Amino acid sequence: TRTIKLAVIPGDGIGPEVIAEANRVLDAVLDGSDVALERTEFKLGADRFLETGETLPEIEQAAIAEHDAILFGAVGGVPGDPRLAGANIERGLLLKLRFDFDHYANVRPCTLFPGVESTLREPGTVDFVVVREGTEGPYAGNGGRLRSGTMAEVATEVSVNTALGIERVVRYAFETAQHRERRKLTWVHKTNVLVHSGATWQRIVEAVAVEYPEIAVDYLHVDAATIAMVQDPGRFDVIVTDNLFGDILTDLAGAIGGGIGLAASGNINPDGAFPSMFEPVHGSAPDIAGKQQADPTAAILSAAIMLDHLSLTAAAERVRDAVRADLAGRGAERRSTAEIGDRIIAHLSVGSDRDSRND
């Protein structure tokens, strides 16, 4: 038996609701296999902060680091909650984990599954993946505020782009493209305005491209990329871009791919020095929290990306097949979070007659 140590951070709002379903699906797909999940739950997020004043205690971070993977729900309180002013759970917890565990490849697939309605009238075939840089850019936290509260106040947020940081994510994106059918890579930046980081990105993309002659490379400015994503999403295969552009483009991609409730992601540390972290793209959705209205599919598909990462490829495919089967028959029917989980699990057992149960 292979034991996988899984750190689970359900978080706030709908986080615990969607993670409950992802955990049930994981148990169901691994049932009868020779893989055992050993879970440790960490209660972190805005609720924890409100209770104890803690965001991410060092010993807990060290304990999380000892796991093989992290399953993360969503964190964040109700925007504007005065009790959370200055807490910044997003930076102190989520980004801290991404940065400290060197999750430099933030992988966010966008596939419009059959039967799913897109926000686009004629989406065509949508099947691309955004490789978002995860450890640098404007997210690096390099900046500050001078003369705060005066008319002379100046706030800066300096985007950090290192050759090492760009090279490793660009290489990861080329490798991703290499393993896909269309072998196309679009890099996205804003080189006409952000000339310094733009030049560094361009130099590195062009240098790495030489090593991948079979991959077709093109470039779009990020503003034009939003037009292309809405008007002709089928043009994309693999997109590589910086941390902030990638954040924005993947919410847009979520909407195109059938809604943010379906958008999954992996924060990957490809070197394997730290556990990678798998989470839906969406947040804690305070507007629908506690009502069993959240779609757990994004969390379930994130768990599938985790299975892939752990080399449990057959199990990952079974989860995706079950999701696909469920989505194909969903229609306009309204179902609770747990009902969606139930239905996906039911499709899982139907599929297991056909497929091999073990990897």
Q: Give the dihedral of Cα atoms 189, 96, 19, 26; nearest 10 deg.
A: 80
Q: Check if 190 is active-site.
A: yes
Of the pair 106, 200, the CB lying nearest ligand NAD is at: 106
Helices 243-256, 222-231: axis angle to 10 degrees equals 10
Of the pair 17, 102, the CB lying nearest ligand NAD is at: 17
Of the pair 14, 316, the CB lying nearest ligand NAD is at: 14
Please name the residue that has the structure tokens 């660009």: 170
Question: Three-state SS for 125?
Answer: coil
Q: Which of 47, 102, 127, 139 is catalytic?
A: 139
Should residue 46 be labelled a site residue for ligand IPM when binding is judged by CB under 6 A?
no
Query: Which of 69, 188, 205, 260 is the binder for ligand NAD (CB under 6 A)?
Result: 260
Task: Report what 79 binds from ligand NAD, ligand IPM, Mn ion, none; CB cut-off 5-8 Å by kind.
Answer: ligand NAD
**Range list of H helices, the chain:** 15-30, 46-52, 58-65, 89, 96-100, 163-178, 195-209, 222-231, 243-256, 297-309, 313-328, 337-354
Query: Which of 18, 87, 281, 323 is the binder for ligand IPM (CB under 6 A)?
Result: 281
Question: Three-state SS for 107?
Answer: strand
Of the pair 115, 286, the CB lying nearest Mn ion is at: 286
Angle at 190 between CA 187 and CA 192, to 5 degrees: 120
Q: Check if 139 is active-site.
A: yes
Is 232 within 8 Å of 248 (Cβ atoms)? Answer: no
Nearest by Cα to 317 from 343, 354, 288, 289: 354
Q: Check if 31 is active-site.
A: no
Q: Check if 251 is active-site.
A: yes
Residue ranges in 227-256 that form contacts with Mn ion under rule CB under 5 A: 247
Is 15 within 8 Å of 284 (Cβ atoms)? Answer: yes
Neighbouring CB atoms inside 10 A of 124's CB total: 12
Write out the DSSP string of 295-327.
-THHHHHHHHHHHHHTT-HHHHHHHHHHHHHHH
Q: Which of 12, 47, 127, 190 is catalytic?
A: 190
Q: To the nearest whole angstrom, how small is the minimum distance from the Cβ of residue 238 to ligand NAD?
A: 22
Residue ranges in 182-241 that form contacts with ligand IPM under rule CB under 6 A: none
Stretch near ligand IPM under the rule CB under 6 A, chosen from 40-48, 53-61, 89-97, 162-170: 89-97
Q: Which of 27, 34, 81, 223 is catalytic?
A: 223
Site size toward ligand NAD (CB under 6 A) is 22
Which residues form the interface with ligand IPM (CB under 6 A)? 90, 94-95, 247, 281, 283
Which residues form the interface with ligand NAD (CB under 6 A)? 14, 18, 74-77, 79, 90, 94, 260-261, 279, 282-288, 294-295, 298
Q: List, by residue number, the catalytic residues.
A: 139, 190, 223, 247, 251
